[in-house]
Amino acid sequence: MSSTIPLVYNHAGQQIHRDNITGPLADWSQGQLISTERQSLLNAIKKSIGRQVCETKSEMKGKDANMTLEAVLDDFSCVYVEQRHTFSNKSGEAWSLRKFQSQVNAMQWLTIHSTIPVPRLLSVTRSNAEYPHDFLVMDKSSGNTVTRMYGLLSATSKEDLVRSYANIVLELYRLPVPHKIGSISPGSTPNALEVIPKLGKRSDLGAPRVFETLEQYLKYLFSVKRRAFTLTKHDAIGEKDDTGSVFSAQSTISELGIHIRKLLLSYDSPCLRRFVLMHDHLDETNILTDDHGRITSILGWGSHSIQPAILAAEYPSWLSYSGVNDPQFAPTSKWWIEGAEESARLRRLFEEIVKERDPEYHQALTQGSVIRAAVGWLMDIRDDPACSRMRGWTQKTFGPSSSKPPVLDDSQCHIS
């Protein structure tokens, strides 16, 4: 099956073309000119796996992200090459190194302890005199990302994709892991796991420590959200009406904190609080599927964590129309690869599958929908002046606030 420009859905539920959904772009093949730096990387790859690179395709990534290449070798096999991004500042470099090491450990551990389709690591090379960058090489499975394949799948294949997703998350859900909230790091033996503070998506978003309970973790997330809306920050970036925006944001954060504190009282079942290893970005960009909706590989293991089950159990992200993905409150740039009505049907299918196979997962999935949406808002770093989008969702979900909580009062956001 060949890929085409896919149709996606906008806020109004209308199908539109998205020309910028592309795969890796071919940027070099044998016989073409190449930069000295890229040639050094290709030499290092050949030394690490014993094969010559004949062609490379670059994957566009965000700022401070690892460089990712898709490389064709001289035996016509394909591999992924991921080079760790280096920072000029010590804190950023330390975060990048920890994330790289954690990714490698997670992939190695999952390969040993599960049947989850994790890419096979062919080599892990640390910076040296010949090539001063850390990089890893992993095999590339058949298939393509869900983002690029979804519009080409039949209705039956889309259902099979949901079933394949269920197989993976249910296996992750039952893997034995330490009873702490954080990321995993190499232990004293290849089979051992150590828990380190949760590594955020950016160097400035990592947790300061390992958390023992759901309440501790939520309290930390609320504190981070509060710090994002301070007079000092808004003064620095020159926003207009700083005081009004900050006070409105803090009031909204406090209001959400009150609701979540009450909600936590209902989570008394041990199965909701057991600790689970999860992929933090198990979305359509990190899942490869074949033409029939069978998942062939899961990428992006640099983003993972151990979390309570009620936060780890989740619907397929490409079917989400709730929380930060609710069209009523999502940014105007947001789009969906499946329509709202069909997404709802496929979510019900997912519920049926997990209810039959693992009732405890189903309980965490259904009972945790609101708190997961709230966590999504706390972790959302997209533009939301005065937390107006988050406030709209909070009032839609919990109803209008009967009394305005005191602004800038941290006690309203404490989760205890």
pTM of the predicted model as reported, rounded to 2 decimal places: 0.91
What number is the average pLDDT over the span 24-29?
76
Cβ atoms 241, 388 nearer than 8 A: no
pLDDT recorded at residue 238 = 43
Closest CA to 71 of 108, 21, 24, 104: 24
And the tokens for 347?
Answer: 């979510």
Strand order in the sheet with 144-145: 144-145, 287-289, 295-298
- Among all chains, which residue has been given the structure tokens 């000092």? 232
Indicate whether 65 pLDDT > 70: yes
**Span between the terminal Cα atoms of the chain, in Å:** 53
Cβ atoms 408, 250 nearer than 8 A: yes
Backbone dihedral angles phi then psi of residue 275, each to the nearest 5 degrees: -95, 140
And the tokens for 323?
Answer: 């929380």
Indicate the range of 122-136, 144-158, 229-243 predicted with least confidence: 229-243
pLDDT recorded at residue 237 = 41
User: Sorting pLDDT into bands at 50, 70 and 90, what band is 1?
Assistant: very low
Reported as a single tens digit per residue, the pLDDT across 302-351 is: 999 999 999 999 999 999 999 999 999 999 999 999 999 999 999 999 99
User: Sorting pLDDT into bands at 50, 70 and 90, what band is 233?
Assistant: low
193-196 and 183-186 strand pairing: antiparallel
What number is the average pLDDT over the span 18-27?
65
What number is the average pLDDT over the span 189-204?
85
* In CATH, 22-140 is 3.30.200.20: yes
Cβ atoms 378, 217 nearer than 8 A: no
What distance separates the 2 farthest-apart alpha carbons in the chain? 70
Reported as a single tens digit per residue, the pLDDT across 296-316 is: 999 999 999 999 999 999 999
What number is the average pLDDT over the span 391-396?
97
Closest CA to 205 of 279, 134, 305: 305
pLDDT recorded at residue 231 = 57
Residue 338 φ/ψ region, left for φ over 0, alpha for ψ in the -120 to 50 degree band, beta for the rest: beta
Q: What is the mean pLDDT of the chain?
A: 90
Indicate whether 381 pLDDT > 90: no
pLDDT recorded at residue 232 = 55
Indicate whether 412 pLDDT > 60: no
Instruction: Give domain limits for the chain.
Output: 22-140, 153-174+212-299+308-413
